[in-house]
Amino acid sequence: MLSFSPGADQVVALGVAALLVMLFVLARVHYLTLPKLTARPKDAPLPDCMAVIPARNEEAVIARAVHSLPHDTVIVVDDHSEDRTAEVARKAGAGVMPAPPIPARGIGKANACKAGAAVLTSKWILFADADTWFEPGFLPAAVACAEANNLAFLSFYPGLECETLAETILAPYAEALYFCGLNGKLDPTAVFNGQCILVRRDAYEFIGSHGAVANTVTDDVKLAALARRHRLNLATVRAEALAHVRLREPWHSFRRGALRFMAVSSWMGIVIMIAGTVAALWLPVLVWLASEGHRTWAAVFAALPIVLIAPWYRRPLRALLAPVAIYGMIPILWGGMLNALGGGTREWKGRVV
């Protein structure tokens, strides 16, 4: 009778592989269980909806965001920019207003969102980051989804678009890690995404608008929590076919994101840290397998993270960058976690947040 007695390297490899499969398959399940925003016919009428884009030092991207939304539906709130954001937004066709002074202990984005919403009378308000942009049918589809499901608050996950090498390497893996710790079924508020939010104006004003969450970096999650507390319906959907976002300056963006993960939920932050740390065991275990002469095991183990993370890269060849992303994210994750645990702050666009 043949018997198999695995060595220590093989036992460790099996354990690491099992954890990787569990974490990253669950991440994909968490993402795919979010409902997908359904496109509307191209001739669908425009809804009673205006968009507010808070913008600080966004001259490089603001025109694209404005142009992607219907004409005369966009208010850009210039959050004390030090560049030509207001001028570029105005030339793109947006209405532009300056943000009021930030209150003590307030956050610039929430302050700008509140100011923009205050001048609108539309039934629906879309809050969108300056680095998002949309397909022509997005706004009708978004409002139709909210109305069909009797929602007062609806957030969207746009599709990630990468333009630089650093973004191409890091952004898809960061998204995979994010959904390792995020389960919309268990916690609908934690999954609420501030990059793009649609609100029914009466409900938004009822809970106190962004003024009620003006002193937190997790204003989106706090808005969702307020909505649930007042028994208002909310949801989050995938909108990768109709909405897009670019994560610029990945090093700074992801370190700020890591700080945010810990602020939203310590459990979420812990799971993300575990996933990133387990993934970082890949190379040492691979070298161990190879040094013990287990070539078949090493070949299979070498392909594991590439296969698991490939769906996030969308293009198969780009998935070969996954091992680079694994180790590129380690200092970002640990830096953000240590900063959060230490009660530290980070600078973002010239401000401490």
Q: Tens of pLDDT along 153-168?
A: 999 999 999 988 989 9
Distance in angstroms (rounded) separating the CA atoms of residues 113 and 109: 6
Average pLDDT, the chain: 90
User: DSSP labels for 215-266?
Assistant: T-TTHHHHHHHHHHHTT--EEEEE-TTTEEE---SHHHHHHHHHHHHHHH-H
346 vs 146, which has greater pLDDT?
Answer: 146
Backbone angles phi, psi at 80, to 5 degrees: 55, 45
Cα→Cα distances 56→18, 79, 275, Å: 44, 5, 33
Q: What was the pLDDT predicted at 1?
A: 43
Give the torsion sign (CA, 159, 162, 167, 172). positive
Q: DSSP state, 193?
A: -
Q: Are 347 and 270 in contact (CB under 8 A)?
A: no
**Which pLDDT score is estimated for 216?**
82
Percent of the chain with pLDDT over 90: 72
Strand partners, 128: 196
| pLDDT (0 to 100) of residue 22 | 97
Closest listed residue to residue 65, CA positions, set 159, 145, 134, 152: 134
**pLDDT of 350 higher than 90:** no
| Residue 334: per-residue pLDDT | 81
Lowest mean pLDDT among 43-57, 182-196, 271-285: 182-196
pLDDT per position as a tens digit, 203-230: 999 999 999 998 888 899 999 999 999 9
pLDDT value of position 18: 97
Q: How far apart are CA 352 and CA 348, in angstroms?
A: 6
Tokens at 32, concatenated: 């795919």
Average pLDDT over residues 175-201: 91
The closest of 305, 285, 303 to 294, measured between CA atoms, is 285
**CATH for 49-164+185-248 (3.40.630.30, 3.30.70.1230, 3.10.180.10, 3.90.550.10):** 3.90.550.10
The 10s digit of each residue's pLDDT in 254-275 is 666 666 666 666 788 889 899 9
Q: What is the pLDDT, as a whole number, of residue 33? A: 95
Q: What are the residues whose beta carbons fall under 8 Å from the beta carbon of 110, sequence distance 6 or more?
A: 210, 211, 213, 214, 215, 216, 219
CB 329 within 8 A of CB 174: yes
| 240: number of Cβ within 10 Å | 17
